[in-house]
Chain A
């Protein structure tokens, strides 16, 4: 059952990840389009920038989500 859970979790992670990335990319695209239209005289670079930004954010989130079990949070102990 748990292995199913693991597999399901794995799949769920992936789903989330992809959905998130897609959403972000699209959002970025949209924002880019908006900015391109509004501020940058319909250049393409804000669109690509925005979409890239969104993709990158999604990618980063996805990576972070997969890395989560391996992340070690350490604290600096100051010497008194």
Chain B
């Protein structure tokens, strides 16, 4: 296993270009025989460790990708090794999942958006239907499906939100609702249907108030007309029937009177014992009375018939007017009905009276008939007995004989016996007759009772119905009043709402108009201002141009002046710089030059306004100002004297500075020979930094007048040599500095002078 690992590691390493242990393996194998086994053991152990480490790393990298990434980052070429052994690193599974989530999320968002838009559209529809619901009732009750839906939704919303309390009440739910509104419905219904069909989802235009009021007025007018017609008809028929009824009643009463009279007379005629002359008068009266009675009765019947006819006509008119269903006529109708009923009742009463009177008279007449019959019978018998005697037996007192009287008495006795027998028989049959009579009377009574009951029942029924009608009317009126009040309230609420809406609209419109106005005004103003500003600008531009020209001319003149002034100053500067330059040349062989202070002061004075020149003037080193500078020749001489000393202490520095070193350095100086002057190379290398060489370079430079280069070369000296040369270096630096400043100043002065000179 381990060997396999090792072999694998070795092979992979060989592929990549060899590793340390692999490279060493082979030669080690060669030497293993020569060397002892201990070394081989050690080598093997180390190889094992290394191989195990590598294998472990690879395995762990396969398992933990972060570790693999860390190793790949930190250890070079490990990524290729891993790639060979394990395959490419697996990609992150994160982003696709995230994108999936994101892709699903937008979908849901879209759905949500769709839903919200749908809800919004529904709400919009609902909003419109809500406004529609506030419409008068007929427009909502249009039976279009969408409208119904919308109205249902509207009702839901209204009920849910506790909004306008007016719930749309369609006509068809209450057919017996206020009739006038139903009347409105019917003509308005078809129109509303059309309206609804045209624009079911748009906001319905409320019918203009004038139209509605006109319609209402029209309907009122119609109603009034109908009412007038009905009332007139009712009144006519009422009057007619009243007249007829009164007539009938009068006739009936007259008939009643006649009947009573007749009966009375009959009774009198029957019972009264009066002389025959009065009897005939009575009988005549009776006959007259009978005639009267018959005529009265016929009159009464005729009148009754007429009255009945009139009542019938009244009833038909009442029914017709009822069919018209005009509410206002109802009380009239009711009153007419009541009158009709009263008249009918009166008529019936009178008729009943007449009938009772007639019954009575019938009895009396029956009685009279019976009496008359008995009389006739008696007379017949008497006449049969005494044929010669006249019927009028009351005047027979002188004419009759005793036989006749006896016969008459015997007849009378026989008659009395017969009558007694009849009486006894009659008494016996009395009960039966009474029963029969009672029965008849009972029947008669029952019939009468039945009639009376039926008539009274009818009357009561009629009265109850009338009462019911009256109550219904009242109730209807109350309901109507309440309905009116509710409608009035609704109308008031509607007007309030409309007023509010109008107010809001008015405000909005006003605000809009004001805004438009203000914006227009603003535009105008800005335009005006722009124009004025433009004019001003133009004028200003012209003025500025003229002014600028003037200024330009002035400036040209001034600049001329200034230029002249500057030229003068530049000249002065140049002169002073030349003086300074001259002072530099006063350096003697061994002494420094005169102090440059005075010349520098002059220079400073002459360039007070010039910053550059004054800065340069300041830049002169103080030593040169106070003491002056050495010339190049003196420096050269000094250097030459210094040279031997430097040679002598060439080996001495911080670490080598014992006397022995001194001795050695002396020895070196004595033994070493170098050229007096050697041209320095353009680039110094490390071997050129030898002091002796440097000295020869420096002297060469000095001989050729390059103080700067000489100073630079001398600057390369180190250690004691440097210390010895330090003073000379400082002096050389000073000189160089001063010379540089002076040259700069002179160059500047020259430039300025050149600049200020005007070409002719």
Interface residues in chain A, defined as those with a beta carbon under 8 Å from any beta carbon in chain B: 1-7, 10, 59, 62-63, 66-67, 69-70
A67 to chain B, nearest CB (A): 5
Give the interface centre of B590, B638, B725, B730 by most chain A CB atoms within 10 Å.
B638
A31 to chain B, nearest CB (A): 23
A9 to chain B, nearest CB (A): 9
With contacts A10-B724, A66-B662, A69-B723 known, is A3 near B657, CB below 8 A? no
With contacts A62-B659, A63-B658 known, is A4 near B724, CB below 8 A? no
For the complex, give the distance between the alpha carbons of A59 and B661 in Å. Answer: 13
For the complex, give the distance between the alpha carbons of A2 and B731 in Å. Answer: 9
User: Could you list 15 further interchain pairs (A-B, Cβ under 8 angstroms) beyond the known A1-B638, A6-B727, A66-B652?
Assistant: A3-B724, A4-B638, A4-B641, A5-B727, A7-B645, A10-B645, A63-B657, A63-B658, A66-B657, A66-B659, A66-B662, A67-B657, A69-B720, A69-B723, A70-B657
A19 to chain B, nearest CB (A): 15
B640 to chain A, nearest CB (A): 10
* Chain B residues positioned under 8 Å from A10 (CB to CB): 645, 649, 724
Q: Encode B11-41 as 1/0 by CB contact (under 8 A) with A.
A: 0000000000000000000000000000000
- B727 pairs with A3, CB closer than 8 A: yes
- A2 pairs with B727, CB closer than 8 A: yes
Give the interface centre of A2, A3, A59, A69 by most chain B CB atoms within 10 Å.
A3
For the complex, give the distance between the alpha carbons of A7 and B638 in Å. Answer: 11
For the complex, give the distance between the alpha carbons of A59 and B660 in Å. Answer: 10
B interface size (C-beta, 8 A): 23
B728 within 8 A of A: yes
With contacts A3-B642, A7-B641, A62-B659 known, is A70 near B724, CB below 8 A? no
Interface residues in chain B, defined as those with a beta carbon under 8 Å from any beta carbon in chain A: 590, 638-639, 641-642, 645, 649, 652-654, 657-659, 662, 720, 723-728, 730-731
With contacts A66-B662, A69-B723 known, is A6 near B645, CB below 8 A? yes
**16 interchain pairs, CB-CB under 8 A:** A1-B590, A2-B730, A3-B641, A3-B642, A3-B724, A3-B727, A3-B728, A4-B638, A7-B641, A7-B642, A10-B724, A63-B659, A66-B657, A66-B662, A69-B720, A70-B654
For the complex, give the distance between the alpha carbons of A66 and B663 in Å. Answer: 12
3 nearest CB pairs, A to B: A2-B727, A3-B638, A3-B642
For the complex, give the distance between the alpha carbons of A7 and B648 in Å. Answer: 11
For the complex, give the distance between the alpha carbons of A16 and B673 in Å. Answer: 29
For the complex, give the distance between the alpha carbons of A7 and B652 in Å. Answer: 15
* Chain A residues positioned under 8 Å from B642 (CB to CB): 3, 6-7
A11 to chain B, nearest CB (A): 9
* Chain A residues positioned under 8 Å from B652 (CB to CB): 66
Closest B residue to A68 using CB positions: B657
Closest A residue to B644 using CB positions: A7
For the complex, give the distance between the alpha carbons of A78 and B434 in Å. Answer: 173
* Chain A residues positioned under 8 Å from B659 (CB to CB): 59, 62-63, 66
* Chain B residues positioned under 8 Å from A1 (CB to CB): 590, 638
Closest A residue to B660 using CB positions: A63
For the complex, give the distance between the alpha carbons of A62 and B662 in Å. Answer: 11
For the complex, give the distance between the alpha carbons of A76 and B582 in Å. Answer: 56
Closest A residue to B655 using CB positions: A70
For the complex, give the distance between the alpha carbons of A3 and B658 in Å. Answer: 23
B718 to chain A, nearest CB (A): 12
A23 to chain B, nearest CB (A): 17
B736 to chain A, nearest CB (A): 16
For the complex, give the distance between the alpha carbons of A6 and B590 in Å. Answer: 16
* Chain A residues positioned under 8 Å from B638 (CB to CB): 1, 3-4
B627 to chain A, nearest CB (A): 11
For the complex, give the distance between the alpha carbons of A59 and B723 in Å. Answer: 22
A4 to chain B, nearest CB (A): 7
Closest A residue to B592 using CB positions: A1
Closest A residue to B731 using CB positions: A2
For the complex, give the distance between the alpha carbons of A6 and B641 in Å. Answer: 11
* Chain B residues positioned under 8 Å from A70 (CB to CB): 653-654, 657
For the complex, give the distance between the alpha carbons of A2 and B724 in Å. Answer: 9
* Chain B residues positioned under 8 Å from A7 (CB to CB): 641-642, 645, 724
